[in-house]
Chains A and B, each alone.
Chain A
């Protein structure tokens, strides 16, 4: 199974370097390990995150694409759907069997047809429209709801820091 994962990841990496997608760039952290990727996400224009260059690591399981990778911001990030340790919490990164309570529709969750590209597009869309219904960072979600100016200020600090790196 892991052979399939290696082939598929190499294919996606090649495809992305040949035809880059606007909004992010991707590469391997270590050229000998195709399971760990380094991603650079541009803060989407016309959002609080505009101008930021956020670095994140993407780690794929050996049984990819049957199970999803995990994505963790390395740059500091203040967002309702990102844990304090940088881990991204969005529904398509959840295994299909992950959610016994049924908060998420099965079709919003991971499926092997998802790719690095679709994940990145989901993350970019998450930056544009935070979902404070199922927050990973409760403090950020609360501030987003109750004190938008304060939230904005914290985000612009993150944006500034990300530019320095």
Chain B
């Protein structure tokens, strides 16, 4: 983990703790993400243990109980130290009973069953005779022989974390088997499993902490939960991005409820969408099937050299800002159906239109999703191998090539955001009007801005791998890419925030002015027109 070394990492109550290392989980230390990250903190196994120890220490000191009892109390009250204290001082005996701890009056009522150490007793499981000792019962006087204890415990460990709540085998006895007792009879792997269950319980039983959803990742994510139910995008050092609140793919600016609706809709409509999922499209000019193998929407047919847009299959020359065209791929127009149709025709048209509308958003959502996956893959390849080669070729230390990784991380992140703007559009932009127009404008603008960055990475950077370029060329490229990355990052951050706030101020004259000026002038570099006007 890249957490700042020696951070005071134990005080949950202080909201100002260690600003510098909040959520700083990306191994490279790159701050590429467009969303706020100060709401959560990634903890590795060591840090989880430390926090667990801290909580246990607190309870042990205040309540004067053993560490094991303190752990059990904390588990019962979801690792909320204050609640443990409140409940304990409210009704100590009741809590002891509920959690299965020894009664505080040291003369237990089961005393009738108690025998002196060394006395011969019969194991209630196997009926063997053996000498009783303090290791053959858990304080309740129900004695079992060592073989039966270890069988009982081994079996409980194989049942999973519920072993932490294991009670005395005697029917009806609620006394819990304390950890030292369990450890006494568990050997090797089973004892290790018990330890694992124990430290995992700080996360499993704690509503403020969740496991990273990345495969095989053991990072726990602590959320500073002032947001309530809202989405919290988590970016873990393992590369996984997910929403802390709903465990789905990270999805700001869309809320969790909408994401759920959208995903359910997608799975319900998936039969209709199968044709979209097919990975190829015929080239609009020569009709040869084309597979999209890069993230950029700008396609060049490898055979006839026709340049087109993957989204709409229109000529690329009609797209983008360089050529003075208009980036119109993100617009869905409801204009096609007209008056004069019969009821039946109208109904059919409505059904068709509703499917078309959904298809429009789904297709773009899925395409950006695929690009996001591709971007993440490219980033991993670059980080693991290609960056070394680039360093060799350009005679530059890898530490000075971080700008490439930053650009690529930014692309992956932006693809994700763009993807979700289509889920957002489907649910929140149902009516035509200024709001929708404005939404599509900023969405389109964001897309074309990102295309510039993607193209720079996929095409321009590639040249530095194949051709010999001067140092000056590379320095020039570095400046351009860094600048683009910053621009894109700013743009997306503003967009996410404003979409989350529901586009405040839209509908006013100011926005009308923006919409009218939307036609971009030729050669105009992408910039933050919108945020400047809205401020």
Name A's B-contacting residues (CB within 8 A): 1, 4, 7-8, 11, 63, 65-67, 95-97, 106-107, 111-114
Q: Are A96 and B159 in contact (CB under 8 A)?
A: yes
Given contacts A11-B127, A107-B167, contact A4 B151 (CB under 8 A): yes
**Cβ-defined contact, A63 with B155, below 8 A:** yes
B residues 132-186 touching A (CB-CB < 8 Å): 147-148, 151-152, 154-156, 159-160, 162, 165, 167, 169-174
Q: A7-B126, A113-B171, A114-B171 are in contact. List 20 more A-B contacts (CB 8 A).
A: A1-B154, A4-B151, A8-B125, A8-B126, A11-B126, A11-B127, A65-B148, A66-B152, A66-B154, A95-B159, A96-B159, A97-B156, A97-B162, A106-B167, A107-B171, A107-B172, A107-B173, A112-B125, A112-B148, A112-B169
Contact B124 A96 (CB under 8 A): no
Contact (A67, B171) CB under 8 Å given A4-B126, A8-B126, A112-B148:
no
Q: A107 CA to B172 CA in the complex, in Å? A: 5
CA distance A106 to B166 in the complex (A): 9
CA distance A13 to B171 in the complex (A): 22
B152 close to A112 (CB less than 8 A): yes
Can you give 9 A-B contacts (C-beta < 8 A)? Answer: A7-B126, A65-B151, A67-B155, A96-B159, A96-B162, A107-B171, A107-B172, A111-B170, A112-B151
Among B393-448, those with CB < 8 Å from A are: none
Closest B residue by C-beta to A5: B151
Q: Which of B107-128 contact A (CB under 8 A)?
A: 124-127
Residues of B within 8 A of A4 (CB): 126, 147-148, 151
Q: How far is the CA of A65 from the CA of B152 in the complex (A)?
A: 8
> Could you list which residues of chain B lie within 8 angstroms of chain A, going by C-beta atoms?
124-127, 147-148, 151-152, 154-156, 159-160, 162, 165, 167, 169-174
Interfacial chain A residues near B156, Cβ < 8 Å: 96-97
Give the one of B124, B148, B152, B171 with max A CB within 10 A: B171
- Cα distance A113–B148 when bound, in Å? 10
- Give chain B residues whose Cβ lies under 8 Å from the Cβ of A67: 155
A112 to B172: give the CA distance in the assembly, Å. 12
CA distance A107 to B152 in the complex (A): 15
Chain A residue contacts of B159, Cβ below 8 A? 95-97
Contact B154 A111 (CB under 8 A): no
Closest 3 CB pairs of A and B: A97-B159, A66-B155, A112-B125
> Which residues on the A side are within 8 Å of B147 (C-beta)?
4
Check if B151 sits within 8 Å of A113, measured CB to CB: no
Nearest chain-B residue to A65 (Cβ)?
B125
Residues of B within 8 A of A1 (CB): 151, 154
**Are A111 and B127 in contact (CB-based, < 8 A)?**
no
Q: Quick one: closest B residue to A118, CB to CB?
A: B171
Residues of A within 8 A of B165 (CB): 106
Closest to B147 in A: A4
Distance from B437 Cβ to chain A, minimum over Cβ atoms (Å)? 51
- Cα of A11 to Cα of B125 in the assembled complex, Å: 11
A residues in contact with B169, CB < 8 Å: 111-113
Inter-chain contact B171/A111, CB cutoff 8 Å: yes
Q: How far is the CB of A68 from chain B (nearest CB, A)?
A: 11
State the Cβ distance, A44 to closest chain B Cβ, in Å: 22
What chain A residues lie within 8 Å of B167 (beta carbons)? 106-107
Nearest CB in chain A to that of B127: its residue = A11
Tell me which residues across on chain A come within 8 A of B172, comparing CB atoms: 107
Contacts of A96 in B (CB 8 A): 156, 159, 162
Closest residue of chain B to A111, judged by CB?
Answer: B169
Measured CA separation A97–B125 after assembly (Å): 19
Residue contact A63 to B151, C-beta cutoff 8 Å: yes
Interface centre among A4, A65, A96, A112 (most CB of B within 10 A): A112
A96 to B161, CA, bound (A): 12
Cβ-closest chain A residue relative to B174: A107
- A95 to chain B: closest residue by CB: B159
B-chain residues with CB within 8 Å of residue A63 when the two chains form the complex: 151, 155
User: Which B residues are in CB contact (< 8 Å) with A106?
Assistant: 165, 167
Task: Tell me the minimal C-beta distance from A39 to chain B in angstroms.
Answer: 21
The chain B residue with its CB closest to the CB of A100 is B162
Taking the closest CB of chain B, its distance from the CB of A107, in whole angstroms, is 5
Closest to B150 in A: A1
Neighbouring B residues of A66 by C-beta, 8 Å? 151-152, 154-155
User: In the complex, which of the residues B127, B155, B159, B160 has the most CB atoms of chain A within 10 Å of its own CB atom?
Assistant: B155
> In the docked arrangement, what's the CA distance between A66 and B154, Å?
9
